[in-house]
């Protein structure tokens, strides 16, 4: 779906006032999205066909495609899976999405199955953390995590600006990950999960309300993004890295951070908060592709280079904001560029409603060469286009 096609579809729907059409045009042209993102059939149909059948069709296309690819690449069989976790924030049908996968792949009856809903764009790392805890309690097994979002029943046909932002940046996508606690799998695994850090600011009203599903003044349901979102995200990130820092930073950076904190808290000295140099702790950064403004702010706050931001910006351009799965498109981009070497450390950072900021730290167990054969290219979401990236993005 090109940006122009999206804008034409928006205008032709007749659902939006002219002022709101122009608002969406301004947002879309500055959003960082390219012309090859995906929207489900229910939304692109004329007229739109927003029904449960189409929503299920979208979920099946994304989830089954991702899981099929996972089984094909790993050689693991469906009957080997002992744990299944699916996260999708806005679409929670009955039977659940996890049950759809159990039924489709005829998974075994004693499977530990979980379906996480309403947890926003950071739910993918919540699922990873849950899988980690379950693998500790269930030896010699496999866990599959499926992260996606469903757009069909959550497209907004109203005229509230705060809700129209989602139409402009959210797109269709999903990912499936396999985790193992079997010793024999270490030699073929790509990464080892080193740390997960979860931050939940839901006790604060501003944080709780800044991403909120509600009805507008006409009774149309949408997800509202508050103006305070960037400030709330910054506060959640600060809390998260305060916990993560001591786990990953070299001692020199920890000392500088501690001394600044002592000056501020103990001696009441007015000093700028010390932002540790996380480039000393990680080779690769996968920052949730929530939007151009989010990425700009994170780049500035963490003092990252364009090279570090490239996987996130290119994912936003190629696929749009695919919610909780965007982190995996970013990691796949890094792999497709042949940048991952043995021992490299990867920091995944995700933000989501609640408000939550979650981190996962991975260590590469081996070099991961760029896909070269036709089979390898087909298995990568970037296989048909990585040669064109990075692309030059227009200035905002």
Q: Tens digit of pLDDT for each residue in 178-202? A: 999 999 999 999 999 999 999 999 9
pLDDT mean over 16-39: 95
Q: What are phi and psi of 145, to 5 degrees?
A: -115, 125
Does 191-388 match 3-185 at the fold level?
Answer: yes
Q: How confident is the model at residue 396 (pLDDT cuts 50, 70, 90)?
A: low
Cα–Cα distance, 71 to 77 (Å, whole number): 6
Structure tokens at 108: 């075994």
Q: Is 308 a catalytic residue?
A: no
Asked whether the beta carbons of 209 and 167 are under 8 A apart, the reply is no
Q: Is 317 a catalytic residue?
A: yes
Q: Is 200 a catalytic residue?
A: yes
SS3 221: strand
**Is the domain 3-185 a CATH 3.40.50.1220 member?**
no
Domain ranges of the chain: 3-185, 191-388
pLDDT at 333 over 80: yes
Q: Where are the alpha helices (DSSP H) in 219-305?
A: 229-248, 251-265, 292-302
Cα–Cα distance, 92 to 220 (Å, whole number): 19
Q: Is 104 a catalytic residue?
A: no
Q: What is the model's pLDDT at position 290?
A: 93
Q: What is the model's pLDDT at position 271?
A: 79
Q: What is the model's pLDDT at position 237?
A: 94
Q: Is 321 a catalytic residue?
A: yes
Q: Catalytic one among 88, 115, 121, 154?
A: 121
Q: Tens digit of pLDDT for each residue in 55-102? A: 999 999 999 999 999 999 999 999 999 999 999 999 999 999 999 999
- Residue 179, CA distances (Å) to 14, 119, 133, 250, 384 in order: 46, 21, 12, 28, 27
pLDDT at 306 over 70: yes
Q: How confident is the model at residue 33 (pLDDT cuts 50, 70, 90)?
A: very high
Q: What is the model's pLDDT at position 254?
A: 87
Q: Is 387 a catalytic residue?
A: no
Q: Catalytic one among 167, 317, 357, 358?
A: 317
- Across 141-145, 270-274, 387-391, least confident range: 270-274
Q: Catalytic one among 288, 308, 357, 358?
A: 288
Q: Catalytic one among 181, 200, 357, 358?
A: 200
Q: Catalytic one among 87, 150, 154, 321?
A: 321
CATH architecture of structural domain 191-388: 3-Layer(aba) Sandwich (3.40)
Q: What is the model's pLDDT at position 273?
A: 73
pLDDT at 353 over 70: yes
Q: What are phi and psi of 74, to 5 degrees?
A: -95, -20
């Amino acid at each position: 779906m090109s940006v122009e096609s999206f804008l034409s579809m928006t205008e032709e729907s007749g659902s939006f006032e002219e002022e709101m059409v122009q608002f969406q045009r301004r947002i879309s042209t500055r959003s960082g999205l390219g012309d090859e993102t995906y929207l489900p059939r229910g939304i692109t149909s004329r007229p739109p066909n927003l029904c449960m059948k189409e929503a299920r069709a979208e979920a099946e296309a994304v989830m089954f495609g991702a899981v099929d690819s996972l089984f094909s690449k790993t050689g693991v069989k469906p009957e080997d899976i002992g744990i299944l976790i699916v996260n999708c924030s806005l679409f929670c049908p009955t039977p659940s999405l996890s049950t759809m996968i159990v039924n489709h792949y005829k998974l075994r009856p004693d499977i530990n199955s979980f379906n996480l809903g309403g947890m926003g764009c950071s739910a993918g790392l919540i699922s990873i953390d849950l899988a980690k805890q379950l693998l500790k309690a269930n030896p010699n097994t496999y866990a599959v995590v499926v992260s996606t979002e469903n757009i069909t029943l959550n497209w907004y046909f109203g005229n509230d600006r705060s809700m129209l932002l989602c139409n402009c940046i959210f797109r269709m996508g999903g990912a499936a990950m396999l985790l193992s606690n079997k010793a024999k799998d270490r030699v073929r695994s790509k990464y080892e999960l080193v740390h997960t850090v979860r931050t939940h600011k839901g006790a604060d009203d501003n944080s709780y309300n800044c991403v909120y599903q509600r009805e507008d003044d006409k009774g149309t349901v949408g997800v509202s993004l508050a103006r305070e979102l960037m400030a709330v995200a910054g506060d959640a990130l600060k809390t998260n890295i305060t916990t993560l820092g001591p786990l990953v930073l070299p001692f020199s950076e920890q000392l500088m951070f501690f001394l600044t904190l002592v000056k501020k808290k103990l001696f009441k000295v007015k000093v700028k908060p010390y932002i540790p140099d996380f480039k000393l702790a990680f080779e690769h950064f996968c920052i949730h592709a929530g939007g151009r403004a989010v990425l700009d702010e994170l780049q500035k706050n963490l003092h990252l280079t364009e090279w570090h931001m490239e996987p996130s910006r290119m994912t936003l351009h190629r696929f749009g904001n695919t919610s909780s799965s965007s982190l995996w498109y970013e990691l796949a981009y890094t792999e497709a560029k042949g940048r991952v070497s043995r021992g490299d450390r990867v920091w995944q950072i995700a933000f989501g409603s609640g408000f939550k900021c979650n981190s996962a730290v991975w260590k590469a167990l081996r070099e991961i060469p760029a896909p070269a054969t036709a089979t390898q290219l087909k298995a990568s979401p970037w296989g048909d286009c990585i040669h064109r990236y990075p692309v030059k993005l227009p200035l905002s």
